[in-house]
Chain A
Amino acid sequence: MDLLIPEVGTIIWMLIAAGIVFFILVKWGFPIITRMVDERNEYIDKSLDAAKKANERLAGIQNECDELLKETRAEKARILKEATDRRDEIIAEAENRAKESGEKLIADAREQIRLEKEEALRSLRRQVAELSVQVAERVVLKELSTDEDQLLLIDRMIDDVKTEK
């Protein structure tokens, strides 16, 4: 039973000791520790926040890079397409020109051929005419030994001319 009865002396000793301990620890002990722990927690929070922001920025940069890359690809595709078009155009133009100049050459050649043919025909005709005149001369010289004959021929010729007309 006496175990359950608090001794006044012990209470007094305890309260004095506890009071001194409390004074010392409150003044120089726990507040420093708790303040520091709080400060560190704040610092950690801040660091986490900064890290998060940095990550976000990094993600932004990544996005930008992706965007840029995409744009560049599009540009490349566009340029390539343009180049292809231009090439096709150039080729087509060249073909056209080649065709045109070929046609022109052919046309020129034809004209030349035609002209030369005409020339040749003309000279042939002339030669034929000359030949026929010479032949005719020879024939006439031989046939028209008489005047009668001559007249007869003239008449006939005139008739011919007349019928021809």
Chain B
Amino acid sequence: MKKIIAILSLMFLIAVPAMAQETAHDETVDVKGIIFGHLKDSYHWHIITIGEKEISLHLPVILYSKVTGWHFFSSRELEHTGSYEDFHITNDGAHAGKLVETLPDGTELKPLDLSLTKIALAVIINSLLLCVIVMCTARWYRRHSATDPAPGGFVGLMEYVIAMIVDDVIKPSVGKDYKRYTPLLLTIFFFILLSNIMGLIPIFPAGANVTGNIAITLSLALVTFFTVNVFGNREYWKEILWPDVPIFLKAPIPLLPFIEIVGIFTKPFALTVRLFANITAGHAIILSLTCVIFITAKMGPFIGTPMTVLSVFFMIFMNFLELLVAYIQAYVFTMLSAVFIGLSRPEEHHEPDGAKANAKANVDNSLTT
């Protein structure tokens, strides 16, 4: 370990002054551009720049405009000018970085953007990877019986994680018919975990900021939202619309029902923002630390070298921290989803008033006698 650190440090000591000279001619480092360029979605997937040559994956752009209908073209068309036909990428406003259409009368219109963007492609790659991983694991189980010795290696790891999530998160949070929700919650957990980890690997086909994109986290939260509210039982809706509280809190002005209904929507909102903010922050910090190298390198080798070493150590630390965060956020999202599902299926309350209890007792008596 000590040897590796020594070699790394040496590499940077040699490399940084050289890089410093190279970048010294360039204009100032666009930290904001680098960070937001990574955090945000884009129409192409930049893989690497070798010298002057940029290697990137051009993805298909699919647009539906209310005025001019469907448009398909490659993002290669946008490479130099940032515009194609009537479409161009705006730099400001709510849709910065997105394609907008300039109508003949000069107004700008945001079309329905169904482009296979970097994030969308990353989602597909992650989904395929997730399927491959889980199906490979499942294949082992299809070929073995319960009396065989427990699996080792990767299958054993998967089983350990699955068993842990099921036993520690899903079973206690959801309650009695947890088995119905186990596959869904496991899918959510592994999708988030895999996307988080893939986001930390900097090379193609990983490296896209999937779970740091609010559309993705919103989609995941929507899945939870629909699961909670579609499969919620009568008791759940009763607790929302007619909760068990003093009558003045709900009768003339539906105060508590109002709060409860707001709560239905704040739950997925909290899920959305929590995952998005955590992953975005992590990526932003790591990228900032990377940028430190290039900023200080301009200040000459005497400042640049120690700052580079420091920055690399911080980056290693942050990467480990982000690995932890990747797991924790997947865990928390799954746990909260499980808790919300559990809350949507409360058990029937025991009626406190004596009349019903007596009636039930009478029925029981008549049944037994």
Is A141 close to B, CB under 8 A? no
Is B53 close to A, CB under 8 A? no
Q: Is the CB of B117 within 8 A of A9?
A: yes
Q: A28-B135, A36-B146 are in contact. Are A2 and B96 (CB under 8 A)?
A: yes
Q: Is the CB of B124 within 8 A of A17?
A: yes
List, in ascending order, chain A residues with CB within 8 A of B127's CB: 17-18, 20-21
Q: Is the CB of A42 within 8 A of B120?
A: no
Closest to B272 in A: A6
Closest to B111 in A: A9
Of A10, A30, A36, the contact of B119 (CB 8 Å cutoff) = A10
List, in ascending order, chain A residues with CB within 8 A of B138's CB: 28-30, 32-33
Q: Is the CB of B135 within 8 A of A29?
A: yes
B152-198 contacts to A, CB under 8 A, are: 158-159, 162-163, 166, 179, 182-184, 186-187, 191
Q: Is the CB of A2 within 8 A of B97?
A: yes
Is A26 close to B, CB under 8 A? yes
A60-91 contacts to B, CB under 8 A, are: none
Is A24 close to B, CB under 8 A? yes
Interface magnitude class on chain B = 35 or more
List, in ascending order, chain B residues with CB within 8 A of A6's CB: 214-215, 218
Bound-state Cα–Cα, A96 to B42, Å: 126
Closest to A6 in B: B215
Bound-state Cα–Cα, A114 to B163, Å: 116
Of A14, A15, A22, A34, the contact of B187 (CB 8 Å cutoff) = A22
Is A3 close to B, CB under 8 A? yes
Interface magnitude class on chain A = 35 or more
Shortest beta-carbon distance, A14 to chain B, in Å?
Answer: 4
Bound-state Cα–Cα, A95 to B93, Å: 133
| A-side interface mostly | helix
Bound-state Cα–Cα, A9 to B114, Å: 4
Shortest beta-carbon distance, B116 to chain A, in Å?
Answer: 7
Shortest beta-carbon distance, B137 to chain A, in Å?
Answer: 6
Q: Is the CB of B141 within 8 A of A32?
A: yes
Is A161 close to B, CB under 8 A? no
Of B114, B124, B183, B223, the contact of A30 (CB 8 Å cutoff) = B183
A4-58 contacts to B, CB under 8 A, are: 4-15, 17-18, 20-22, 24-26, 28-34, 36-37, 39-40, 42-43
Bound-state Cα–Cα, A40 to B247, Å: 52
Q: Is the CB of A10 within 8 A of B117?
A: yes
Of B94, B114, B146, B163, the contact of A12 (CB 8 Å cutoff) = B114
Q: Is the CB of B162 within 8 A of A2?
A: no
Bound-state Cα–Cα, A7 to B110, Å: 11
Q: Is the CB of A43 within 8 A of B146?
A: yes
Of A3, A21, A40, the contact of B40 (CB 8 Å cutoff) = A3
Q: Is the CB of A25 within 8 A of B218?
A: no
Is B349 close to A, CB under 8 A? no
Shortest beta-carbon distance, B103 to chain A, in Å?
Answer: 20
Of B36, B147, B183, B215, the contact of A14 (CB 8 Å cutoff) = B215
Bound-state Cα–Cα, A34 to B182, Å: 9
List, in ascending order, chain B residues with CB within 8 A of A34's CB: 162, 166, 179, 182-183, 186
Bound-state Cα–Cα, A75 to B220, Å: 81
Q: Could you show 29 A-B contacts with beta carbons less than 8 Å apart?
A: A3-B36, A3-B40, A3-B214, A4-B214, A7-B41, A8-B215, A9-B62, A9-B113, A10-B41, A10-B119, A10-B120, A11-B215, A11-B222, A13-B116, A14-B219, A15-B219, A17-B127, A18-B123, A18-B223, A22-B184, A25-B130, A28-B135, A29-B138, A29-B183, A32-B138, A32-B141, A34-B179, A34-B182, A37-B159
- Interface residues in chain A, defined as those with a beta carbon under 8 Å from any beta carbon in chain B: 1-15, 17-18, 20-22, 24-26, 28-34, 36-37, 39-40, 42-43
- Beyond known contacts A10-B41, A26-B183: 7 more, CB 8 A cutoff: A13-B114, A17-B123, A21-B127, A22-B183, A28-B138, A29-B138, A34-B162
